[in-house]
Amino acid sequence: MRPDVVVMVGLPGSGKSTWVAAHLARTHAVVSKDHWPNARGREARQRRVLHELLGRGRDVVVDNTNPSPRERAPIIEIARRHGATVRAVFVDVPPEVCLQRNAARTGRARVPEAGMLHARKRLVPPAVNEGFDRVDVIRFESVRADISG
Ligand SMILES: Nc1ncnc2c1ncn2[C@@H]1O[C@H](COP(=O)(O)OP(=O)(O)O)[C@@H](O)[C@H]1O
Ligand SMILES: [Mg+2]
């Protein structure tokens, strides 16, 4: 069977990791630059890890903000090289909500305000014409219902 690659897209605090834990953690290997916050060349490392996991036939979810086509293109390219299906899951939550949730975090988990604004400026909703087989949008309201129900 073709491996499956899921590219998460969403601002910090939008609920990507929570959604991944609830929906994909049992079936997909989770790749995230957050796993090695200090390493240099995290981008290259992430690509290498993705390549290796797909080489072993694993399904993979890439859990980063992945805000624009520039970050997403290399992931799509690697997925295609492995004959994988690749879909985007856009967690579409209002920036103000993400800011609030981020402010409630402590320590390293909290993204500096400048980083929040930067991500917001760069965010381009994923589109099928980038090369995705599918784009799913998880809206704020449904995410809520999902978690509480
Ligand atoms: N559906 C939700 N409803 C309310 N709060 C949520 C929901 N999903 C996540 N959160 C909270 O928002 C914060 C950010 O969630 P997280 O999954 O870490 O976001 P991300 O991975 O996109 O940065 C966490 O404190 C989490 O508990
Ligand atoms: Mg996260």
pLDDT at position 149 is 42
pLDDT at position 29 is 98
Question: Which residues, including other chains, have CB under 8 Å from residue 73's CB and lie 6 or more apart?
Answer: 130, 131
Between 3.40.50.300, 3.40.190.10, 1.10.287.110, 3.40.50.2300, what CATH number should domain 4-148 receive?
A: 3.40.50.300
Which position has the token pair 């290796």?
Answer: 52
**Ligand 1 atom 2 nearest Cα:** 144
Which pLDDT tens digits describe the chain residue by residue (149 residues)?
A: 899 999 999 999 999 999 999 999 999 999 998 888 777 889 999 999 999 999 999 999 999 999 999 999 999 999 999 999 999 999 999 999 999 999 999 998 899 999 999 999 999 999 999 999 999 999 987 655 555 54
- Does the pTM of the predicted model rise above 0.75? yes
Among the bound ligands, the one closest to the CA of 10: 1
Ligand 1 pocket, CB under 6 A: 10, 12-18, 101, 143-144, 147
Report the number of secondary-structure helices (H) and strands (E) in the chain.
6, 5
Question: Cα(145) to centroid of ligand 2, in Å?
Answer: 19
Domain residue spans of the chain:
4-148
pLDDT at position 147 is 55
**Ligand 1 atom 16 nearest Cα:** 15
Cα–Cα distance for residue pair 120/129, rounded to 1 Å: 22
Among the bound ligands, the one closest to the CA of 98: 1
Question: Cα(1) to centroid of ligand 1, in Å?
Answer: 32
